[in-house]
Amino acid sequence: MPTAADLNAAIRDVPNFPKEGILFKDITPVLGDAELFKASMELLAETAQGEKIDKVVGIDARGFIFAAGVAQILGAGFVPIRKKGKLPWTTHKMAYSLEYGEDCVEIHKDAIKPGEKILLVDDLLATGGTAAAAIKLLKVLDADLIATSFLIELEALNGRALIDSPRTEAILTY
């Protein structure tokens, strides 16, 4: 099985994307390689550390790619947390701050039953605002958040400080 070092070697740095001064971590080479893609999901699933997970929650949009696979590995259901206006049923909403303004994420009101054990998965932990909003939505539903798992963490942005989770892990840190 490929290792975290193999994943790291495949991730491409793209300077000045999506805007000047940003060094974007491009995960598409990982997604395009069957062995690396599988390894990434298996490493993310390890965050659950033997817990029986009921649902894996993925954050819009790249988090869906990984969370759905992790759910399959763990024998759990998959639940999307989407940007405002993208879910077709009644939802709970949570606003969060961005560098310039505010955004909102939503989850279906019936997506998680109280007490269900949850693993939250996303591709990237940067400033932590989106993940923190997702965790607040899980609390509204009385979910039992077991852990949060990220493929990449940008440590200098200190997003982990906003994450209210019993365990938070990242496969790769920069």
Catalytic choice (99, 106, 167, 169): 99
Packing angle, helices 34-45 and 62-74, rounded to 10:
70
Amino acid at 127: T
Strand locations in 84-167 (E): 91-98, 101-108, 117-125, 144-153
Q: What are phi and psi of 121, to 5 degrees?
A: -125, 140
Nearest partner of 171 among 18, 44, 15, 16, judged by Cα: 44
Catalytic choice (46, 51, 62, 160): 62
CA separation for the pair 90, 170 (Å, rounded):
32
Residue 99 falls in the annotated catalytic set: yes
Q: Are 70 and 49 in contact (CB under 8 A)?
A: no
Residue 62 falls in the annotated catalytic set: yes
Active site residues: 62, 99
